[in-house]
Structure 1
Amino acid sequence: MALPGACSRGLPPPASALPLLASVSSADAKTPTPTNTGKPTADRLIMKDGTSLYFKDWGTGPAVVFSHGYPLSSDAWEDQMFFLLQNGYRVIAHDRRGFGRSSQPSSGYDYDTFADDLAQLVGALDLREATFVGHSMGGGEVARYVARHGQSRVAKVAFVSSVTPFLLKTTTNPNGAPKKLFDTFRAAVQTNRSQWNLDVTMPYYSFNRPGAHVSEGLRESYWRQGQMTGFLAAYHALGAFSETDFRDDLKKITVPALVVHGSDDQIVPLEISAKLTAGLIPHAKLIVYEGGSHGLLHVDKDRLNADLLAFLRG
């Protein structure tokens, strides 16, 4: 999330801000809607309002539930899911409503609904003693899930490059970003979403730093996932993740917690996110990747995989 002053580095406004700013897309294709409401098929579950939620459920063993960032999908977690699958874990990840292969309703793009969708999926799969892992926007989803649905099914939680605890500048959060910055992002969503999704990959992965090795494959993967996201989700989720205060949510977490963040996160800066998040959760463990970007899932996947496995086994 780009804080005031980020644009002084010469980056276009959208590219110097939060991950969520990664624009959305047009997705006109209609997804077939299963009729078994409340009961999962191989990869879909119908929410209480009729929204079709796509999910992946691989393997057996202790469950790990992943919540993706903006404007991506469950595909963003494939490196972590495959690694943990090989190490004996059951791994589950869904496309948030409006994102990826899930359907695109006209409403419900708020964290209470996101958390309730997650709770319905967890209940339908009857997951117990699960570890919940959220990246970027997904970190807020994990926090709100605990606040609304408790920890009866939660063994541990992990926050990776998370938007928590609160991004918006207010009288009680003076170091946050001004609302006009997020208004700029919403304008970008309406103007040229495709170009924005491409441009933001440079600061997202810190590819804009001198000497950085730019992976065009990663940029294209991000763009593809961003383009699959529906317009309404891309537009309204910007307000959801930027204007939702998760401070009280985090205080309700009492299970073991891991907080991982990059020191060079140009989307959600370390000082206003991970350090505060770790301080609000009793006994949380904070790991900072020196020089790490917002896209730790991909650029630092081997280290992140090892840290997640150690946390799960600890």
Structure 2
Amino acid sequence: MSMLEVETDTLGRPVELYYEDVGYGFPVVLTHGWPLDHAMWEAQAAELLDRGCRVITFDRRGFGRSSQSQGSYNYNRFADDLAMLLDALDLRDVTLVGYSMGVGEIIRYMARHLGQRVGRLALISGVAPSLAKSSTDVGGVDEATFDRMDTELREDRFAFTAWYANELFEGCQEPTVSRATKDWIQSQIHRAATESMLAGIQLLRETDFSEDLRAIVNMPTLVVHGHADRIAPIAATSARLADALPNCVFKAYDDAPHGLFVTHARELAADLLELVKSPPNVTLPAAKV
């Protein structure tokens, strides 16, 4: 459990990222979703560690135990923070795993930092190429939904948190997610800064990664999404992402909601291990669609 200083703010105060670096072997870096933190990866991290991986998880600025940094919540900054973490730990041939908003962070890193130190990618329940409804993505999330999320977060942060913890698992048939698990999800959201949460809604509303995707066309990539995802509908996100990455492996989990890191924890861990232990720059096994 460590802190990495990535910059100083306008008052000269350090901006630090909280990270955990555990184990030995194949390096795997996992980036969390909005508005969660590194703890979301608990099940996958345990399995990766048991199978001979070095697992690095961290909290994005403004989330978890990392510093709040007013006015600095954007994908370029997130990508630069990730680059500093990889450099500070001198990681090589990394398997970079992103979930939800973390997928956007990884894609921006690959474009902005030319994929340095990375050997493989896993893009889980992502928001790319874009999440918002548009003329090219009619199945995306509409403006009214983003407006409602913004309003409800401002009016009652804790009611919003409870709603989101439920929405993560809506559409899931089996297994049933316990109240205790939803409380665990809420505890992560409570650690986030309200400003970073609001900024995240705006980023999800306005960011299109179509141009950035050119940087990862030739990178061994696993794309995973749930058919029952109500937060980032599969047709608007990962189905389009897989089309843009013709050499990727695309696995769509039946009945899986956005929170498939809980509901399909073992299946996801197995798929990540298969990716981690594959040689770099080779064609992966056939997709499960």
Same fold (TM over 0.5): yes
- Cα deviations across residues 7-33 of structure 1 (Å, max 9, x unaligned)? xxxxxxxxxxxxxxxxxxxxxxxxxxx
Rounded to whole Å, the distance in 1 between the matches of 2:156 and 2:227 is 30
Which residue of 2 is the match for residue 180 of structure 1? Answer: 144
Rounded to whole Å, the distance in 1 between the matches of 2:178 and 2:41 is 17
* Partner SS for 2:225: strand
Quick one: which of 98, 114, 117 aligns to 2:62?
98
Which residue of 2 is the match for residue 89 of structure 1? Answer: 53
Does the Cα contact within 8 Å between 1:71 and 1:234 map onto a contact in 2?
A: yes
Rounded to whole Å, the distance in 1 between the matches of 2:73 and 2:201 is 9
* 1:236 and 2:199 correspond: yes
* Partner SS for 1:139: helix
Q: Cα distance, 1:55 vs. partner? A: 0.6
* 1:44 and 2:3 correspond: yes
* Distance of aligned partners of 1:64 and 1:212 in 2 relative to their CA distance in 1, 3 Å threshold: closer
Does the Cα contact within 8 Å between 1:54 and 1:101 map onto a contact in 2?
A: yes
Which residue of 2 is the match for residue 283 of structure 1? Answer: 247
- 2:247 partner amino acid: H
- 2:5 partner amino acid: I
Rounded to whole Å, the distance in 2 between the matches of 1:290 and 1:210 is 10
Rounded to whole Å, the distance in 2 between the matches of 1:195 and 1:54 is 27
Q: Cα distance, 1:212 vs. partner? A: 6.3
Rounded to whole Å, the distance in 2 between the matches of 1:155 and 1:139 is 16
Q: Cα distance, 1:189 vs. partner? A: 1.1
- Cα deviations across residues 83-111 of structure 1 (Å, max 9, x unaligned)? 10111111111100000000111121110
Normalising by structure 1, we get a TM-score of: 0.83
Rounded to whole Å, the distance in 2 between the matches of 1:226 and 1:53 is 17
Which residue of 2 is the match for residue 219 of structure 1? Answer: 182
Rounded to whole Å, the distance in 2 between the matches of 1:211 and 1:157 is 28
- 2:26 partner amino acid: P
Q: Cα distance, 1:210 vs. partner? A: 6.8
- When structure 1 is superposed on structure 2, of 211-220 and 259-268 the one drifting more is 211-220
- When structure 1 is superposed on structure 2, of 157-166 and 212-221 the one drifting more is 212-221
Structure 1: gaps (5+ residues) = 1-41
- Cα deviations across residues 114-166 of structure 1 (Å, max 9, x unaligned)? 11111111111111110100001111111011010012311000011111110
Does the Cα contact within 8 Å between 1:140 and 1:241 map onto a contact in 2?
A: no
Pick 1 or 2: higher relative contact order, CA cutoff 8 A, min separation 6.
1
- 2:194 partner amino acid: F
Quick one: which of 56, 59, 63 aligns to 2:27?
63
* Partner SS for 1:158: strand
Normalising by structure 2, we get a TM-score of: 0.90
Runs of 4+ aligned residues of structure 1 deviating over 4 Å after TM superposition are 208-212
CA RMSD of aligned residues (A): 1.5
Aligned length: 272
* Partner SS for 1:47: strand
Rounded to whole Å, the distance in 2 between the matches of 1:309 and 1:169 is 34
* Partner SS for 1:271: coil
Which residue of 1 is the match for residue 127 of structure 2? Answer: 163
Q: Cα distance, 1:201 vs. partner? A: 2.2
* 1:258 and 2:258 correspond: no
Rounded to whole Å, the distance in 2 between the matches of 1:211 and 1:64 is 29
